[in-house]
Amino acid sequence: MFHRQFLRGFLDLIYGKQDTCTLCGHQLATGQAVCSVCRQEITGLRQEYNTCRNCGRLLEEGDVCNQCLQQLFYFQQACVVGPYRDLLRDYVHQFKYQGRRDMAKGFAVLLAEVLRRQSWLDRIQLLVPVPLYWKKQAARNYNQSRLLARHLADILDIPLGTALLVKVSDTPSQTALTREQRMVNVRNTFRAAVPAAVQDRNILLVDDIITTGSTVSECARALLEAGARGVWVAAIASGVTRAASEARFDTAAVRAE
């Protein structure tokens, strides 16, 4: 270990310190956080899908998802880097389960680029990460959504509230649950810890993955009940959902119910 560190220090002295891609680890000469190979492959995955004009999740075809026809989301819209598949899935898994905290900066850079293309970004006044239950965070020793939100707040120059939303009860893993089971599993499990800090604020909720949207919707509900003006969502990846028939969908009617 000492010899490796000595050699790297010597090479940095001779050739200049080399930055590395925060996702794949390859050397970078430009000082950027993500290499062109990772950027192109992840961007290419995103271009294969449409976006639901109501909730912002990814679609194989069409522009309104089937779930928006059946379920009210409490957030205004979601924004993601790409689909939870292939390279992006592998990277998110490393970030979330294998202790790769260093990947947070690269993901934040990519997510910030997507967010800057959203017309509603200028409304955002506060970033809030999706919390873990305290026992789960103690076991993992970090909250990946909080790490992501911290870097994102720095890049976008938006205030960060890391302790404004808490998970008040432990719940089984969502991984093997159906959409209906996920909705029940997270119901009433989040609350605003400092309601005064979110009142009349437009909030960007930050998470790692959006699968069915149940978790972020429940978080948004807790923030709105505490007085938040509106909630939007940003995540690294999203599951891909099915399109609904345009003839059967009415955004205003679903929002009003």
Query: Tens digits of per-residue pLDDT, 119-130?
Result: 999 999 999 999
Among 34-38, 65-69, 223-227, the range scoring the smallest mean pLDDT is: 65-69
Q: How many domains does the chain divide into? A: 1
Instruction: Give the model's pLDDT for residue 12.
Output: 47
Q: Confirm whether 40 is domain-assigned.
A: no
- Strands 165-167 and 190-192, by their bridges, are antiparallel
Q: What is the pLDDT of residues 167-220, one digit of tens each?
A: 887 765 655 555 555 555 566 789 999 999 999 999 999 999 998 888 999 999
Q: Taking 50 as the threshold, does the pLDDT of residue 255 lie above it?
A: no
Average pLDDT over residues 62-87: 89
- Residue 60 token pair: 């194989």
Q: pLDDT-based confidence at 137, cuts 50/70/90? A: confident
Q: Are 51 and 78 in contact (CB under 8 A)?
A: no
The set of residues, in sequence order, having a beta carbon less than 8 Å from that of 10 and lying 6+ positions away, is none
Q: Taking 50 as the threshold, does the pLDDT of residue 3 lie above it?
A: no
| 226 vs 77: CA distance, rounded Å | 19
Among 17-21, 73-77, 238-242, the range scoring the smallest mean pLDDT is: 17-21
Instruction: Give the model's pLDDT for residue 177.
Output: 54
Q: pLDDT-based confidence at 248, cuts 50/70/90? A: very low
| Between 154 and 185, the higher pLDDT residue | 154
Give the C-alpha distances (Å, rounded to integers) separating 123 from 55, 220, 230. Answer: 17, 16, 9
Q: Confirm whether 58 is domain-assigned.
A: yes
Q: Taking 50 as the threshold, does the pLDDT of residue 88 lie above it?
A: yes
| 130 vs 143: CA distance, rounded Å | 9
* Domain span including residue 86: 50-256
Q: Confirm whether 174 is domain-assigned.
A: yes
| Between 70 and 14, the higher pLDDT residue | 70
| Between 57 and 2, the higher pLDDT residue | 57
Instruction: Give the model's pLDDT for residue 135.
Output: 84
Q: Confirm whether 27 is domain-assigned.
A: no
Q: Confirm whether 70 is domain-assigned.
A: yes
Q: Confirm whether 124 is domain-assigned.
A: yes
Q: Confirm whether 7 is domain-assigned.
A: no
| Between 44 and 116, the higher pLDDT residue | 116
| 210 vs 239: CA distance, rounded Å | 6
Q: Confirm whether 19 is domain-assigned.
A: no
The CATH number that applies at residue 173 is 3.40.50.2020
DSSP string covering 178-199: -HHHHHHHHTT-EEES-HHHHT
Q: pLDDT-based confidence at 19, cuts 50/70/90? A: confident
Instruction: Give the model's pLDDT for residue 175.
Output: 58
Whole-model pTM: value is 0.82
Q: Are 231 and 76 in contact (CB under 8 A)?
A: yes
In terms of Cβ atoms closer than 10 Å to its own Cβ (0-12, 13-18, 19+), residue 66 is middle
